[in-house]
Chains A and B, each alone.
Chain A
Amino acid sequence: MSKTVTLRVRRQDGPSQSSRWEEFKIPHQPGLNIIAALMEIQRNPVNAKGEKTTPVVWEASCLEKVCGACSMVINGQAMQACATLVDRISPNGDPITIEPMSKAFPLVRDLVVDRQKHFDQLKEIHGWIDIDGSHDLGPGPRMSPEDAEVMYELSRCMSCGVCYEACPNVNEKSPFMGPAIMSWVRRFNMHPSGKHFSKDRLEALMGEGGVNDCGNSQNCVKACPKGIPLTTSIAAMKRDTTIHGLIGFLQKP
């Protein structure tokens, strides 16, 4: 018999329904990733028991690990499904479990979750550079190649949500804003004209659920699919918010 891959998928028809496990057997092929395996289920929606079922609902788009859509919990860890090769995650052919992320984002259906929270946070932290208009005003401010490189590193964050899932301080009951957004504040505050609003951004991180709620577990930086130095960003924001708070205190009349 030709080699097969076994997927155990946690399924749920909607936010208020109960969840169940369903197992699938997929023909193995070299270089197969989790997305290609899920595509096989779409073409043949039959489970391992041979029963006809609905195709699994999942989210993906670019399949190149740059759009951030296909985050899933695979064998217990959040990661991008497109960049997860079956042979790498299950070299001995053990069953692979696939679940939706569950800690920071509400479930939509099967493997799809709602990550709107992250996009809303970008509003709260003044997540943009204040340009005077989109008409031609000549070049932007000069930057050293080194600064541009650090900013680029941070700008590669694709809002995938994996770091929220990995963080022990993020859960349904905690107000903690999560790691990614801290790094975005650092990124905007680094920019020569972004700096003009650094005060607003730092203050957004100083309330309840802000940067000081980070317990320093370092899970985020290990989990980040883009290798973004999240803990360095968090440390920098702890320092900057402390200085900002201190200056505010000293300036009090």
Chain B
Amino acid sequence: MDANRIIVVGGGLAGLMTVIKAAEAGVNVDLFSVVPVKRSHSVCAQGGINGAVNTRGEGDSPMEHFDDTIYGGDFLANQPPVKAMCEAAPGIIYLFDRMGVPFNRTPEGLLDFRRFGGTKHHRTAFAGATTGQQLLYALDEQVRRWEVAGKVTKYEGWEFLEAILDDEGVCRGIVAQNLRTMEIKPFAAGATVLATGGNGMVFGKSTNSLINTGSAQAAVYQQGAKWANGEFIQVHPTSIPAADKLRLMSESIRGEGGRVWVPKDGKPWYFLEEWYPAYGNLVPRDIATRAIFKVCVELKMGVGGENVVYLDVSHLDPKMLERKLGGVLEIYEEFVGDDPKKVPMKIFPGMHYTMGGLWVDYDQMTNIPGLFAVGECEYQYHGANRLGANSLLSTVYGGMVAGPKASAWMKNQAKVEVKPSVVEAARKRAQERYDSLIAMRGTENPYVIHKELGELMTNNVTVVRYNKNLEETLVQLDVLTERWKKINIDDAGPYSNQAVPFTRHLWNMLEQAKVITKGALLRNESRGAHYKPDFPERDDANFLKTTIAEWTPDGPRISYEPVDTSLIKPRPRKYDVDKQATATAAAAAVPSTLDAKLASESAESEDKKIKREAQ
């Protein structure tokens, strides 16, 4: 069966950029997406995209951006790819500019930049407060151009079911399902790229879209792909809680001067500004979220005694707000009913992003040869905490790497074809699985189990984590898994059936929940977004390591591999003082002992890795 083409699964920014780069390399591409690609979750990104263009003459540079990103991620990211991303960032912003993205402009007609969390520089290019939507549309337009030119075939409304793996364990394509006719069909390919986004739905309600179940990456995890750093979940400090979702209130609101406060002794208490004078309201998200938790949960000082704090822009110029934040303030007014230009917004943290995901090498390839991953579904760029406006950058940069690398990988194969028997076996397995799902006639409702899964994960595996609760969560996840087996599908319709795909996703969400929870349980330290009051300090000696989860029928098997910190030496992460102060202090106070420790640590892990591979 001819497989001389690339398959890209997912039509958000990461997938579309992969498609463009592969098409430019002369390769034919099949693009799969569960929704029309213009409705991908990238539309929800609000604040902007980072790149050290330094138009303000602030002395910003890609190296400064690199350092902010590594420091913001608490030194858990492998450094070389992050450096390459930051170096590419200004060019990426210019590319979008050429594609016609209506970025906000300065009076001179240049791109305007704003500040975001975890940096002191104006580094974030933006299009109002719907930057993700605008970037996505720009790439969608370029892909449409390739579609008209005959290089790209779109399969919108098709869902990835599983990877086709040959006898040597190489990925040779995918099995997918048409979500209208419910037809299940195999597609051969010389290389396959997953660009299937985050997994916010594991937490029930989050800032993510309903499609963000992480189902595709969980499927290949169960086929042997490694999952890295699953326990690192970003909880965004500012969202509006509601019955159906937590609506994001962009960090750009604080970037443009918004202030967070609660009433104290009849006056506003700007606790972020008081606790973190160097960065104030623009501390990274993990720091801001923990501070809000402390104020509401620990000190019981939330507005009206509830889990609510104010996010206030009412002191700012309404015209500026309209121009730079219109799209996001509109969301607040629409869903809450108050005008944020006049009254402070009521907000609370909400699950937002997964730093972890499929393990990939520096070419974006997973441990399954021929299977690549890019964007939020992989783990590579953000370490233990992602800085705001770095997500759009990492999706696009990842696509710029994956497109050419996947094309090259395919071209380097001796022959690009796949045995019909391998393809047919995969198709048959997927069809049988579907047939057994649609025949489920138990007593449980999948949407009810999903709601309970979300509450369990949100209560125990988000901002503050205790080992006792994590252990109990693992037990409860097994209980939910057993209940899953007793689902009644409620809809056995042969056409446009939504109940079966959702039930399939729910299984895959349970698998991911186990990866997240077990990774969190075993990591006895606090780093970035992962915080344990019983282990409040970062522990580089034991945990400056990437967590690796591998699927087994009895739950994830966890191991660790060393982090490449060859470019920036790890130092304590503090946001009450300027970054330079921590660098100087680290240089003075941490002589060779830590280095020696790290070196032996990494040598030891390297040892273990070799042993593991030998087994």
List chain A residues, Cβ under 8 A from B133.
66, 155-156, 158
Query: In chain B, what residue has the closest Cβ to A119?
Result: B36
Chain B residues near A131 (CB, 8 Å)? 95, 98-99, 142
Query: Whole-angstrom distance between the alpha carbons of A69 and B34 in the complex?
Result: 12
Question: B568 contacts the other chain (Cβ, under 8 Å)?
Answer: no
The chain B residue with its CB closest to the CB of A15 is B495
- Least Cβ–Cβ distance between A227 and chain B, in angstroms: 9
C-alpha gap A68/B357 in the complex (Å): 28
Interface residue B496 (Cβ < 8 Å from any Cβ of A) = yes
Beta-carbon contact of A191 and B100 below 8 Å: yes
Known: A32-B243, A122-B144, A155-B137. A57 touches B209 (CB 8 A): no
Chain B contacts of A68 at CB under 8 A? 38-39
Cβ-defined contact, B493 with A54, below 8 A:
yes
CA distance A193 to B141 in the complex (A): 14
Known: A61-B41, A127-B144, A193-B100. A139 touches B111 (CB 8 A): yes
Q: Which of B385-393, B445-453, B537-545 sits within the interface?
A: B445-453
**In-complex Cβ contact of A133 among B24, B39, B499 (8 A):** B24
Return chain B residues, CB-CB under 8 Å to A127: 141, 144
**B103–A55 contact, CB under 8 A?**
no
What is the bound-complex CA distance between A44 and B488, given in angstroms? 12
| Contact call B103/A148, Cβ cutoff below 8 A | yes
> Closest CB-CB distance, B159 to chain A, in whole Å?
14
Pick the most buried of A35, A63, A149, A193: most chain B CB atoms within 10 A of its CB. Answer: A63
B264 at the binding interface (Cβ < 8 Å):
no
B91 at the interface (CB under 8 A from A): yes
Q: Which residues of A are found within 8 Å of B156, using beta-carbon distances? A: 116
Give the nearest-CB partner of B336 in chain A.
A31
B-facing residues in A64-89 (Cβ within 8 Å): 64-69, 82-83, 85
- How many of chain B's residues touch chain A, expressed as a range? 35 or more
Which residues from chain A sit less than 8 Å from chain B, CB to CB? 13-14, 29, 31-33, 35-36, 39, 42-45, 52, 54-55, 57, 60-69, 82-83, 85, 108-109, 112, 115-116, 119, 122-123, 127-131, 133-134, 136-140, 142-145, 148-149, 151-152, 155-156, 158-159, 188, 191, 193-194
Minimum C-beta distance from A119 to chain B (A): 6
State in angstroms the CA–CA spacing of A196 and B127 once bound together: 23
List 13 additional contacts besides A66-B327, A67-B40; criterion CB under 8 Å: A54-B491, A55-B490, A61-B210, A64-B247, A66-B133, A123-B144, A123-B147, A131-B98, A134-B24, A144-B109, A145-B112, A148-B104, A152-B102
> When the two chains form their complex, are residues B498 and A55 in contact, meaning their CB atoms are under 8 A apart?
yes
- Interface flags, B493-518, vs A, CB<8A=1, else 0: 10110110000000000000000000
B375 contacts A by Cβ under 8 Å = no
Q: A137 and B98: CB pair below 8 A?
A: yes
Bound complex: CA of A123 vs CA of B140, how far in Å?
Answer: 11
A169 to B133, CA, bound (A): 29
In the complex formed, the residue of B with least CB distance to A155 is B102
Rounded to whole angstroms, the CA-CA distance of A98 and B331 in the bound complex is: 23
B168 part of interface (Cβ distance < 8 Å): no
List B106-150 residues whose CB lies under 8 Å from chain A.
Answer: 106-112, 127-128, 130, 133-134, 137-138, 141-142, 144-145, 147-148
Q: Which residue of A lies closest to B53 (CB)?
A: A139
Q: Given the known A-B contacts A31-B243, A65-B334, are A152 and B209 also in contact in the complex, defined by CB atoms under 8 Å?
A: no
Select A64's contact among B44, B98, B180, beta carbons within 8 Å: B44
Given A29-B243, A36-B244: A143 touches B105 (CB 8 Å cut-off): yes
Shortest CB distance B495–A (Å): 5
Chain B residues contacting A32 (CB-CB under 8 Å) are: 243
Given A109-B496, A123-B147, A127-B144: A66 and B130 interface contact (C-beta under 8 Å):
yes
Contacting B141 at CB < 8 Å: which of A128, A145, A151?
A128
A148 touching B102 by the CB < 8 A rule?
A: yes
Asked if B44 and A66 sit within 8 Å, CB to CB, the answer is yes
Most-contacted residue by chain B among A14, A42, A123, A158 (CB, 10 A): A42
CA separation between A56 and B109, bound complex, in Å? 49
| CB contact between A62 and one of B41, B97, B242, B448 (< 8 Å): that residue | B41
Contact across chains for A43 and B335 when beta carbons are under 8 A apart: no
Residues in B whose Cβ lies below 8 Å from that of A82? 244
Known interface pairs A33-B244, A63-B247; A152-B134 also in contact (CB < 8 Å): yes
A52 and B211 CA atoms in complex are apart in Å by 27
Q: Which residues of B contact A142 (CB under 8 A)?
A: 105, 108-110
Question: Would B94 and A136 count as touching, CB distance under 8 A?
Answer: yes
B99 touching A129, Cβ below 8 Å:
yes
Tell me which of B100, B109, B148, B448 has the highest count of chain A C-beta atoms within 10 A of its own C-beta. Answer: B100
Contact in complex: A128, B145 (CB < 8 Å): yes
**Does B194 interact with chain A (Cβ within 8 Å)?**
no
Check if A43 sits within 8 Å of B24, measured CB to CB: no
Give B434 Cβ to nearest chain A Cβ, in Å: 17
Quote the shortest CB–CB distance from B386 to chain A (angstroms).
Answer: 20
* 13 sample A-B contacts, Cβ–Cβ < 8 Å, listed by A number: A13-B493, A42-B445, A55-B491, A62-B39, A62-B41, A62-B44, A64-B331, A68-B38, A112-B496, A119-B144, A129-B138, A137-B95, A142-B105
With CB as the reference atom, state the residue of chain A lying closest to B39.
A67
Alpha-carbon distance A80/B38, docked complex (angstroms): 16
> With a CB–CB cut-off of 8 A, which chain A residues contact B211?
61
